[in-house]
Chain A
């Protein structure tokens, strides 16, 4: 368990932001932490949609229960947080 900085590129927001997450966080928890800094601040909620985490550089969508530690992320790597139907 350790603090791990990532950059959040949240769908429909205009800016990328620094978000500290934890290496034990699942991707759902990462999405939630990123949402705190974008959703309802500059991005409207999308009812019925869930948030998924995607690696920015290659578009790989991570399983929702995968942890940060097991995703092979580099510190400060940029992640897309996208609205999804599933």
Chain B
């Protein structure tokens, strides 16, 4: 019997809405889970997913993807790539594996919420595949680093990070809990799949895949390319939701969700991806600077998508563009300075040659962040290593949960956006972080950032060792300079003219 073509039956089979008989529509699709925002079910039925796939096609493709990534891993296992790789690149992988797999696993429950509660049948159908995607991403990114736990306990943070109160883990959880774990299904489709995945997973997965290939890490490159192809499919769930909201008088609410999610994702990536791209990845293997990636993937492409959908540029776009020259440098310097508090070994990335690269990509780096680096280098060269480590905590933003940083040196410009709300003084790293809080103070006011916890007596004893213990960082896990400070030697060597 001849099979019908997919396009001849697809629309019919995914039109799975029905008139409930035993429960009310409100009971079947509770508003807090569905988030239909008063838009009737028949309107949600017009949701038209741009990427159509059915189960048999899905499993066939996914099987091929898994077979590809796992066979590259098996084939290259004996090459001992990780054992011989530049420690800066190893740090990029260790940081990535701690920050990503369990967030992916959590994302499968966010997808499951859409799969069950979205009033749009097309959204439900797509989200079933998205749920399976994210489950695969969680599993594969736990399996790959597990092979390296024999080399260092830091690799085990792939499984461990999200179960700790390590500060970067708190920051990542704060964002993902906000954007995908505690939102209705329409908000998830917009904040997770449209704002975060369309823009920022491209940064993490395409950007790092390019750097990985340049660095000869074909296992990591094939793994994350296999993930990215899933992301680019299920990231398309948000667009049709936005179209429906805009067409039904909900543009302002849609714009607010997009703006808040983009900003929060940006801040997280400024701490996790920015340092990896501009400081940890060996200079010769960098395909583009973090700023160049941001300009290409977020500023140019994402902005175009927003306009095409009928949304506006976020109100803070100029602030974001300005911060591309600032924020991730501050995050990097903070992570390096507070290096015992992370599960990876940050590469300093400010040796003499790297500084030339930084000055070229970020004109003015030497007279700003370079001034701080000068003092650090001077201390290392002159036997004062104790001054290159912390004796207190950085002030942490009450929205992004990351240190409050700004421009140092001759152009000093570091600001704390303070807000007193119901008798409590909150601190924010930017006007936009403060705005995110002010959208819905009830949602955020109870959260304690790391400093709040410290001051509330949660960290005992109240010192660096107590802090490390609170964060779950044991000896052998806490970070140190990736290259064992070898890079400092380049500063003590006399300069020679290039031949």
Residues of chain A touching chain B, judged by Cβ–Cβ distance below 8 Å, are: 5, 7, 9, 11-19, 36-37, 40-44, 56-57, 74-78
Name the segment of B305-313, B412-420, B430-438 touching the other chain: B412-420
> For residues 39 through 63 of chain B, which have their beta carbon under 8 Å from a beta carbon of chain A?
none
Evaluate contact between B395 and A16: CB separation under 8 angstroms: yes
Name the segment of B138-146, B173-181, B193-201, B385-393 touching the other chain: B385-393
Nearest B-chain residue to A33, judged by Cβ: B392
Q: Is B374 engaged at the interface, CB distance under 8 Å to the other chain?
A: yes
Evaluate contact between A17 and B408: CB separation under 8 angstroms: no
Option from B330, B393, B408 in Cβ contact (under 8 Å) with A18: B393
Evaluate contact between B375 and A44: CB separation under 8 angstroms: yes
Q: Is B394 engaged at the interface, CB distance under 8 Å to the other chain?
A: yes
A81 CB → nearest B CB, Å: 11
CB within 8 Å for A13 and B394 given contacts A42-B337, A75-B425: no
Q: Is B499 engaged at the interface, CB distance under 8 Å to the other chain?
A: no
Evaluate contact between A78 and B416: CB separation under 8 angstroms: yes
Residues of A within 8 A of B374 (CB): 44
Most buried by B among A19, A36, A42: A42
Interface pairs A-B: 3 shortest CB-CB: A14-B408, A16-B395, A42-B372
Evaluate contact between A14 and B414: CB separation under 8 angstroms: yes
Nearest B-chain residue to A56, judged by Cβ: B416
> For residues 377 through 426 of chain B, which have their beta carbon under 8 Å from a beta carbon of chain A?
379, 387-388, 390-395, 403-410, 412, 414-416, 418, 420, 425
Residues of B within 8 A of A42 (CB): 333, 337, 371-372, 375-376, 408
* A contact face: mostly helix, strand, loop, or mixed: loop
Evaluate contact between A13 and B392: CB separation under 8 angstroms: no
Evaluate contact between B408 and A78: CB separation under 8 angstroms: no
Q: Is B334 engaged at the interface, CB distance under 8 Å to the other chain?
A: yes
Q: Is B487 engaged at the interface, CB distance under 8 Å to the other chain?
A: no
CB within 8 Å for A18 and B418 given contacts A42-B375, A77-B425: no
A23 CB → nearest B CB, Å: 15
Residues of B within 8 A of A37 (CB): 390-392
Q: Is B244 engaged at the interface, CB distance under 8 Å to the other chain?
A: no
Evaluate contact between A7 and B395: CB separation under 8 angstroms: yes
A-B contact pairs, 24 of them (CB 8 A): A5-B455, A11-B412, A12-B409, A12-B412, A13-B414, A14-B329, A14-B330, A14-B408, A15-B333, A15-B405, A16-B395, A16-B404, A16-B405, A16-B416, A16-B427, A40-B387, A41-B376, A42-B333, A42-B376, A42-B408, A43-B372, A44-B375, A57-B418, A77-B418
A8 CB → nearest B CB, Å: 8
- A14 vs B410: C-alpha distance when bound (angstroms): 11
- A41 vs B378: C-alpha distance when bound (angstroms): 9
Evaluate contact between B414 and A16: CB separation under 8 angstroms: yes
Evaluate contact between B425 and A9: CB separation under 8 angstroms: no
Most buried by B among A16, A17, A36, A40: A16
Residues of B within 8 A of A14 (CB): 329-330, 333-334, 369, 372, 405-408, 414
Q: Is B70 engaged at the interface, CB distance under 8 Å to the other chain?
A: no
Q: Is B324 engaged at the interface, CB distance under 8 Å to the other chain?
A: no
Evaluate contact between A18 and B388: CB separation under 8 angstroms: no
- A7 vs B454: C-alpha distance when bound (angstroms): 13
CB within 8 Å for A15 and B403 given contacts A37-B392, A78-B427: yes
Residues of B within 8 A of A40 (CB): 375, 379, 387
Q: Is B128 engaged at the interface, CB distance under 8 Å to the other chain?
A: no
A79 CB → nearest B CB, Å: 10
Evaluate contact between B425 and A76: CB separation under 8 angstroms: yes
Residues of B within 8 A of A43 (CB): 371-372, 375, 408
Evaluate contact between A41 and B425: CB separation under 8 angstroms: no
B482 CB → nearest A CB, Å: 19
Option from B379, B394, B418 in Cβ contact (under 8 Å) with A15: B394
Residues of B within 8 A of A41 (CB): 337, 375-376, 379, 387-388
Nearest A-chain residue to B394, judged by Cβ: A15
Nearest A-chain residue to B414, judged by Cβ: A9
- A43 vs B373: C-alpha distance when bound (angstroms): 9
CB within 8 Å for A18 and B375 given contacts A76-B425, A76-B427: no
- A57 vs B406: C-alpha distance when bound (angstroms): 16
> For residues 79 through 129 of chain B, which have their beta carbon under 8 Å from a beta carbon of chain A?
none
Residues of B within 8 A of A19 (CB): 392
Nearest B-chain residue to A11, judged by Cβ: B412
- A77 vs B337: C-alpha distance when bound (angstroms): 23
Nearest B-chain residue to A37, judged by Cβ: B392
Interface string of B327-350 (1 = CB under 8 A from A): 001100110010000000000000
Residues of A within 8 A of B415 (CB): 56
Q: Is B33 engaged at the interface, CB distance under 8 Å to the other chain?
A: no
B395 CB → nearest A CB, Å: 4
- A76 vs B322: C-alpha distance when bound (angstroms): 28
Interface string of B257-286 (1 = CB under 8 A from A): 000000000000000000000000000000
Q: Is B488 engaged at the interface, CB distance under 8 Å to the other chain?
A: no
A31 CB → nearest B CB, Å: 15
Option from B375, B395, B406, B409 in Cβ contact (under 8 Å) with A17: B395
Name 11 extra pairs, CB < 8 A, besides A14-B372, A16-B427, A37-B392. A7-B427, A12-B410, A14-B329, A14-B408, A15-B330, A15-B337, A17-B392, A18-B392, A42-B375, A44-B371, A76-B455
Q: Is B478 engaged at the interface, CB distance under 8 Å to the other chain?
A: no
Q: Is B451 engaged at the interface, CB distance under 8 Å to the other chain?
A: yes
CB within 8 Å for A12 and B371 given contacts A17-B395, A41-B387, A78-B418: yes
